A and B are shown apart, each in its own frame.
Chain A
Amino acid sequence: METVPQLQRKLGILDDQFTQLQELQDENNPDFVVEVVTLFFQDTERLLNELARTLDQQTIDFNRLDAHVHQLKGSSSSVGAQRVQTVCVLFRNYSEERNIEECLKCLQQLKQEFYFVKNKLETLFKLEKQILEAGGTIPVQ
């Protein structure tokens, strides 16, 4: 299991924004990160479904597509999911170009990236919870 810095540096999954989130967590706000990230997961799943539906239509509403991707881009950048954000940027470009094939590919990639980061973060949170329950302290990042 990689540490957050490794996730950041080596794999580029998370960027500095995540660190910022972690900094915001303190005694007054002990579960800040978990809350925000969970919100992110929910939001993204919803958006991904929306995207899949939009792309499934006979005539694709690219504006709507763009709006959704924009949303997703915003969320992912707020959380620091760098790879997701990057794919969103690509997605938007293809959407502007009206390139359906590439858009579908991007959607696939989005799913991949999202599930990847989701998996990693969920594991991270699980471990942290275990450590806390065992009475230890998580080293301050």
Chain B
Amino acid sequence: MESCNCIEPQWPADELLMKYQYISDFFIALAYFSIPLELIYFVKKSAVFPYRWVLVQFGAFIVLCGATHLINLWTFNMHSRTVAIVMTTAKVLTAAVSCATALMLVHITPDLLSVKTRELFLKNKAAQLDREMGLIRTQEETGRHVRMLTHEIRSTLDRHTILKTTLVELGRTLALEECALWMPTQTGLELQLSYTLHQQNPVGYTVPIQLPVISQVFTSNHAVKISPNCHVARLRPLAGKYMPGEVVAVRVPLLHLLNFQINDWPELSTKRYALMVLMLPSDSARQWHVHELELVEVVADQVAVALSHAAILEESMRARDLLVVQNIALDRARREAETAIHARNDFLAVMNHEMRTPMHAIVALSSLLQETELTLEQRLMVETILKSSNLLATLINDVLDLSRLEDGSLQLQLGTFNLHALFKEVLNLIKPIASVKKLRIALNLAPDLPEYAVGDEKRLMQTLLNIVGNAVKFTKEGNISITAFVAKSESLRDYRAPEFFPVPSDNHFYLRVQVKDTGSGIKPQDIPKLFTKFAQNQSIATRNFNGSGLGLAICKRFVNLMEGHIWIESEGLGKGSTAIFIVKLGIPESSNESKLSFMPKISGPQANFTGLKVLVMDDNGVSRSVTKGLLVHLGCDVMTVGSSEDCLRVLSHEHKVVFMDVGMPGIDGYEVAVLIHQKFTRRHERPLIVALTGNTDKVTKENCMRVGMDGVILKPVSLEKMRSVLLGLLEHRVFFEAV
């Protein structure tokens, strides 16, 4: 053999087989070379390919395989050793790369597979979300429809507009063929077709409410599909050839004001419902979708609310109109009442004057007539005239007083007064009459009763006089006792006066006065009438009956004004009666001006003043003797003078007090005072100078104080006042009466 480096093929060159192998190898190589090219091309095109180096590896593997097969083409014939070496190298490389690739694929393939699964999962998810999106969109659509409908419905408060709008909008939104509303009638036994969408004037078509289909709808708060053939749904003549559209009915609750209790919500049983029927267009093969049903339910509820608002509005408008009318009427009534009161007041004011003037004339002239020469008959007549006119005068006064009392225009005139003296005065006034009737009167003043009190003296006296007068009037024989004491809180409350709540305080006290008589008594059932005006007690036979029936009513008013209470107790006819009243009086404060509160109560004779030398200066003879009488009665040694010269001449240091009248025209009392001051320079020698004046103004008082007078008192001077003046003077060397 020749030593050529040629490699002999393994097999003999079979021509045909060889040829096929040759061609196959060629194509394999071609394919193997083009695959990577294609891969590279497509990968370059795609954006995402995470495994590039895999590609490289794979490419290399394929290329090498292709190279191997390509080189194989040369090995079919005699080939040189280099070809064999190249072939071998190629094969070796190929083997290496393919092993590497194989190994690598083990890693990569699971990854690639998982990518695929994730892709599938995501696709599913996307489909699901799509579905949900569709749902949400539908719901949102529904919501929008509802809002729009509600807005339309609620933009009006008129009942009819609400209902009509509902039907119209529903029809539009849901593209209905017909929409109808059945309202319950007054009796509640039938449903009447009230509103429809397309028929303008619904005939008063009614169906009984007891139909099963209606009950079915009413018992559920959902929209219920009903048969198109039932009574409520047969509204239009069947237009289409095919099936009529599906019909749905829903209940609309009708709420009334009465249904709303404060504590609980309306009961189901008392609810009234209206029926709303909705029909889809016939021949449309449309079906009611769930969201449409929901829409209908929501709308039905909204309609109920809107209707109730409208009803409430109607009610309140009606109530307001009623109130306006009432207001006008009340205003008119008030004006009329005011006019009446004004008229009455004017009338009273006029009558006050007009009535008194002739009364005065009658009284004065009758009394003058009495003085003239009269026959006995004439005298009797004149006396009767006088008595009657006096009665009338009293009546006029009482009536005017009472109307002023009722008006509330009467006000108490408060002042400090001597309580004990008041009682004594009443006693003095009543004693003559009582002694004529041979009645004994006893006055008991409690020891703790204050001597001075603050209140309306005149009216208290009037009240007391009235009560005591009544006691005397209605007692034929026996005695009358007047008791007065300070009421303590336990005795203040009386079961007969439940509304009387006396509140004791520091500067007030409650005076309780009881007037008991042994007279004719009063029947218990007549007692309430006693204090009513003009109600006279006819059953009492009276001889000296001299009243108009107003006296007690006025007393009651006065007592009430004084924050008190008055009542009468009697055990019956012939058993006497007791009149009791409690009034609130103030306790006078002590002040520098009025020394009244410093006065101790003097009941006995005036031992302090015996022999007290005083001088009285007054140019009026009558006043002079009266003042002298007062002082003499008090035990003083009195000298009187009629002029200032006499006064200065006579006055000596023996005189302790000088009383001078400063109202004297022509003689200046003030000058005399100044002169006295000059005459007696030493204080303890100088007599105290007291001015007597009828002027109640401050100027007089100031003038007196300016010239150095030690006291001012107002005329007329009562015995008590003079006594207290002297006491004050002697104790404090000064006495200024409160002006």
Contact surface of A with B, Cβ cutoff 8 Å: 3-5, 8-11, 16-17, 19-21, 23-24, 26, 28-29, 32, 35-36, 39-40, 43, 66-67, 70-71, 73-80, 112, 115-116, 119, 139-141
Contacts and interface: CB of A to CB of B under 8 A. Distances in A.
Nearest to A32: B629
Interface string B383-419: 0000000100010000000000000000000000000
A110 to B, nearest CB: 13
A141 B431 contact: yes
Contacts of A5: 428-430, 432-433
Contacts of B431: 139-141
Contact of B629 (A3, A21, A40, A71): A21
Contacts of B433: 3, 5
A114 B432 CA distance: 25
Interface in B646-663: 661, 663
Interface string B614-640: 000001111101110110110000000
Contacts of A75: 620-623
Contacts, number: 102
A44 B433 CA distance: 32
Nearest to B390: A10
Contacts of A67: 665-666
A91 to B, nearest CB: 15
A23 B394 CA distance: 28
B31 interface: no
Contact of A11 (B363, B625, B629, B715): B363
B665 A70 contact: yes
Q: Would you call the interface of chain B mostly helix, strand, loop, or mixed? A: helix
Contacts of A70: 663, 665
A121 to B, nearest CB: 13
Interface string B420-457: 00000100111111010000000000000000000000
Q: Nearest 7 A-B pairs (CB), nearest first?
A: A75-B622, A78-B626, A78-B623, A24-B633, A74-B620, A3-B432, A24-B629
B726 to A, nearest CB: 14
B694 interface: yes
B161 interface: no
A43 B394 CA distance: 34
**Among B367, B394, B430: residue with most chain A CB under 10 A:** B367
B630 A79 contact: no
Contacts of A21: 626, 629
A45 B24 CA distance: 184
A10 B392 CA distance: 11
Contacts of B715: 74, 77-78
B352 interface: no
26 contacts: A16-B425, A19-B428, A20-B717, A21-B629, A24-B629, A29-B629, A36-B625, A39-B625, A40-B622, A43-B620, A66-B665, A67-B665, A67-B666, A70-B665, A71-B619, A74-B620, A74-B663, A75-B621, A77-B694, A78-B626, A115-B371, A116-B367, A119-B371, A139-B431, A139-B432, A141-B428
A29 B620 CA distance: 21
A139 B633 contact: no
Contacts of B607: none
Contact of B626 (A10, A79, A115): A79
Q: Which of B625, B661, B665 has the most CB of A within 10 A?
A: B625
Nearest to B465: A9
Given A66-B665, A116-B368, A71 B719 contact: no
Contact of A74 (B623, B666, B717): B623
Interface string B663-683: 101100000000000000000
Contacts of B611: none
A69 to B, nearest CB: 10
B716 interface: yes
B665 A20 contact: no
Contacts of A141: 428, 431-432
Given A39-B621, A77-B623, A112-B368, 7 more contacts: A5-B428, A5-B433, A73-B694, A74-B622, A78-B715, A139-B435, A141-B432
A111 B159 CA distance: 92
A5 B434 CA distance: 12
B428 A29 contact: no
Contacts of A115: 371
Contacts of A116: 367-368, 371
Contacts of B694: 73-74, 77
Contacts of A35: 625
B88 interface: no
B185 to A, nearest CB: 82
Contacts of A28: 632
Contacts of B718: 16-17, 20
Given A16-B718, A23-B719, A67-B665, A11 B367 contact: yes
A67 B433 CA distance: 41
Nearest to A37: B622
A14 to B, nearest CB: 12
B197 to A, nearest CB: 96
A16 B717 CA distance: 10
Contacts of A32: 629
A29 B666 CA distance: 33
Contacts of A29: 629, 632-633
Given A24-B630, A77-B694, A116-B371, A4 B432 contact: yes
Given A5-B432, A78-B716, A116-B367, A26 B633 contact: yes
Nearest to A22: B428
Nearest to B436: A3
Contacts of B432: 3-5, 139, 141
B566 to A, nearest CB: 22
A66 B625 CA distance: 22
Contacts of B435: 139
A36 B665 CA distance: 23
A36 B625 CA distance: 6
A32 B622 CA distance: 12
A79 to B, nearest CB: 6
A104 B394 CA distance: 30
A45 B431 CA distance: 34
Given A20-B716, A21-B626, A8 B665 contact: no
Nearest to A46: B621
